[in-house]
Structure 1
Amino acid sequence: MAENLTQPTDADPAAFFAAQPPPRDAECLVLDAMFRRVSGFAPELWRGNLVGYGRYDYTYASGRSGTYFATGFSPRKAALSIYIMPGYAEFGFILDRLGPHRMGKSCLYVTRLARIDLDVLEELVRAGLDDLAARWPVHA
């Protein structure tokens, strides 16, 4: 079975945040503080410039298994990608209050943090972690 391409690295998340152009560098610090507070986990930089907090081990009915970060973000040029596993299907009542965003399967796209309600984002990340923990054990 093929190994998951998204793996943690030994890179320093703080150096990664500092290397981002403004305003992404400051947004990274805001998100880092929020993810640490909500998850209780320190950040890890994963391949693909993904910043993950916590991990979960999964095994699908097909037998495929692996480890992935529990929640996190990536500071992309066009938008911040915010990852909430396994997805947003049940969180419409929270997303309605967030502010301008776009959605992918397990990813939320936000152009600027200043345009959204950070308290609502925190609520969403907490709900996502709770949902994930009901499916798979979440750990450091």
Structure 2
Amino acid sequence: MAELKTKETNASVRDFLNQIDDAQKKADSKLLLKMMQTVTGNKPKMWGDSIVGFGKYTYQYASGRTGDWMQTGFSPRKTNLSIYIMCGFEDFQSELKKLGKYKTGASCLYIKSLKEVNLEILTLLVKKSVEKMRKKYPQKSDSKKQ
């Protein structure tokens, strides 16, 4: 079975954020960094070469195969900021109605700029998502040292 390509690395989050050319995307990324670090209590870690992640959990497929992934995180992509809400959005419909301008994927929230969303609602959404992930995957999720 293929191995997951995106893994936690020791690359510098600061260096990654500082190389972002777009000034607004860089400012938004630094704000997301502070917010997610506060919400999770975890230090940021690079996942692959373009995702800043917080916390970690171990999942297991029915086949027995396991892997590690971040509890939440973000990636400043070319057209959007991708914010990882790992538990999905099913339980967050009331928050999404108040959030502002966004699109969603299975577990990604796509926004063009933090100016287009309600930051209090975004913070609440990240907080609730992390709480849900920690409840579902308590083994590594509780560590503040990640």
Q: In the comparison of the two structures, how many residue pairs are matched?
A: 140
Alpha-carbon distance between aligned partners in 2 of 1:136 and 1:2, rounded to the nearest angstrom: 23
Secondary structure, aligned partner of 2:39: helix
Residue in 1 that maps onto 2:25: 24
Residue in 1 that maps onto 2:5: 5
Residue in 2 that maps onto 1:76: 77
Give the TM-score of the pair, scaled to structure 2.
0.91
Structure 1: which 5+ residue stretches go unaligned?
Answer: none
Structure 2: which 5+ residue stretches go unaligned?
Answer: none
2:78 is the counterpart of 1:63: no
Residue identity in the other structure for 1:62: S
Residue identity in the other structure for 2:113: R
CA RMSD of aligned residues (A): 1.1
Identity %: 39
Alpha-carbon distance between aligned partners in 2 of 1:77 and 1:6, rounded to the nearest angstrom: 18
Larger % of strand: which? Answer: 1
After superposition, the C-alpha distances for 1:108-131 in whole angstroms (9 at most, x for unaligned) are 000010110111000000110111
Between stretches 33-42 and 44-53, larger displacement belongs to 44-53
Alpha-carbon distance between aligned partners in 2 of 1:48 and 1:96, rounded to the nearest angstrom: 32
Residue identity in the other structure for 2:27: A
Secondary structure, aligned partner of 2:98: coil
Residue in 2 that maps onto 1:41: 42
Alpha-carbon distance between aligned partners in 1 of 2:107 and 2:91, rounded to the nearest angstrom: 12
Q: CA deviation at 1:86?
A: 2.3
Alpha-carbon distance between aligned partners in 2 of 1:112 and 1:49, rounded to the nearest angstrom: 17
Residue in 2 that maps onto 1:14: 14
Between stretches 41-50 and 97-106, larger displacement belongs to 41-50
Give the TM-score of the pair, scaled to structure 1.
0.95
Residue in 2 that maps onto 1:108: 109
